[in-house]
Amino acid sequence: MRSDPLGSRAIGVIGGSGLWRLGILHDAEPQAVSTPYGPHSDGLVVGTIGGRTVAFLPRHGAGHRLPPHRIPYRANLWALGELGVERVVAVSAMGGLRPDYAVGDLVLPDQFLDWTRGRPTTFFDGPVVVHTSIADPFCPELQDVLATAGEAAGFRVHRGGTCLTFEGPRFSTRAESRVYREVLGADLLSMTLVPEVVLARELGMCYATCAVITDLDVWGQEPVQADEVTRVMESCRPRLAQLLTLAIPRIPEGRGCPCAQGGRAEAR
């Protein structure tokens, strides 16, 4: 599927549209990529960070217009693959479910639980059936680089954790939050991680998430408020920009991880 116009050393960044407006992406040029899954989220741009080619894609589109269940995940990942991206760094706001998490902390999850329903979660709709190994969904090489850069940028960094993805766009009830924590053992809550991480592995891409704790869900003292989530993310953007500025030039040009094997899954 890949035409590779940027070369295989290009790095994809998926996040909020406010990140690249901080000036970390240089020589940015808009891009539009045709995909078999329709249009990708608008706002895709290509530029450089620290001399490395970066394709930046705002997950929710320019102006944050797409709710989590309407994001064209397959088109987004396919478009990045068509540009030659083999590594994806995702930036996300997430709810924290552990008492040692504080608002503003950075978490690099290493597992996920899929609590979504009705989203297309694979490129393999038949007639070829492919079962992709995803026991370890996140790239350890990327996580090492991001952890070091996150600490240097001033974040309190937590390595590891299980992220549960639910549909949204509403927040959890108190009963749901209790089940997520006490029954399922989740550490983080997201509305967008799945199917993004799964589709990346199906394409043989490395993928890692920088999860900013924006709230403590409803097991905390107060119910989650969307404007507070936005405020926390805005306050963290300078540190996120510094994290990406430090991390991207340090990502090895050659891959020594097993992530690419996902793109060569055996059909059964």
Active site residues: 215, 217
77 phi and psi, to 5 degrees? -70, -35
Task: Determine whether 227 is exposed, middle or buried from the number of CB atoms within 10 Å of its CB (0-12, 13-18, 19+).
Answer: exposed
Q: What is the distance between the alpha carbons of residues 130 and 264, in angstroms, rounded to a whole number?
A: 9
Residues 86 and 208: beta-carbon distance below 8 Å: no
Q: What is the distance between the alpha carbons of residues 213 and 47, in angstroms, rounded to a whole number?
A: 28
The answer to whether the peptide bond before residue 169 is cis (omega within 30 degrees of 0) is: yes
Single-letter code of the amino acid located at 12: G
Q: List Cα–Cα distances, 154 to 99, 102, 157, 241, in angstroms.
A: 20, 14, 9, 11
